[in-house]
Structure 1
Amino acid sequence: MAARQAALVASLVAGAPTPPGFDPVPVDVARRALLRKRAGDVARHWPLLAAGLGADWPGTFADWAAGRPTNGSLRDGWDLARELRDRGTLPPLGAEELVAREAATRYDGRRAPRPRRLPAVARAGGAVAVQLAGRVRLLRPATG
């Protein structure tokens, strides 16, 4: 029973195939509903990223998250923003939000984010932010 439950959960949240004995249609409906809920949670932590993508936000997030288990809303948004930056598709508002986060917080993609203690500079999409004495300033807005 535990193995079947684990297989169902993996199918719902991590992109695993539908386990034998389950009707794929309701499982797919539940998977899509969970992705929409997850996108809403991430948008609450990354409002500028979501606003910058506008109507493309739900689809962009769902395409990115479909085969990935969640690392929490903050980290999911961070990982998505970095991937969009690397592909050159990060919107200006998302770039500004990303540089502000990266100037204030250290995040290596594996462990939980931690506040920076030393001064830091972050850049993405033309945006530049600096953190000094715990305060973040956007020095240059993103280019669009």
Structure 2
Amino acid sequence: MTSLADRQAELVAALTAGAAVPPGFDARLVEAARVALLRKRAGEVARQWPELAHGLGAGWVRQFAAWAATRPTRGSLRDGWDLARDLAARRELPPAAGAELATREAVLVYDGERAPRPRRWPAVRGAAGSVVVQVAGRVRVLRRG
């Protein structure tokens, strides 16, 4: 017999990381809750990454949900950052989101694992045709994609 904590962990994994629905739960209701959580998560990421959400237009929630379905959240800033990097690697990042990603990359250091932290040194970053320079905390977008 599994403990309550184990069953709760299984349910959370089903809701947030695409794991199988644990025995004893209504799969239809778990799926409805999972979809609602993905929509909520997409809204939170859109607030942190407005240009990314706007650039993907009407397909934003669908595309974000497809990307996030098997990834537990790491916070809306990091979720958006990871998605933007993934889209950039596939050359599918919208141009306006390129400036947004390049700005974040110039201002903060984020290795994909640890929480972002302020960048100490000058930086030049580019994404989707945009180029951003950061020196002494001042940020300039030199070119928008």
Aligned to 1:93: 96
Aligned to 1:105: 108
Deviation string, structure 1 residues 69-108 (Cα, Å, up to 9, x no partner)? 0000000000000000001100011111000100111100
Gaps of 5+ in 2: none
Aligned to 2:144: 141
* Alpha-carbon distance in 2 for matches of 1:2, 1:109: 29
2:43 maps to which of 40, 43, 49: 40
Matches within 5 A, 1:1-144: 1-142=4-145
| Identity among equivalent pairs (%) | 65
Query: What RMSD over aligned residues (CA atoms) do the two structures have, in Å?
Result: 0.5
Gaps of 5+ in 1: none
Deviation at 1:23, TM superposition (A): 0.9
Q: Which amino acid aligns with 1:19?
A: P
Q: Provide runs of 4+ in structure 1 moved above 6 Å.
A: none
* Alpha-carbon distance in 1 for matches of 2:51, 2:13: 30
* Alpha-carbon distance in 1 for matches of 2:47, 2:129: 24
Deviation at 1:25, TM superposition (A): 0.2
Q: Which amino acid aligns with 1:136?
A: V
Deviation at 1:41, TM superposition (A): 0.3
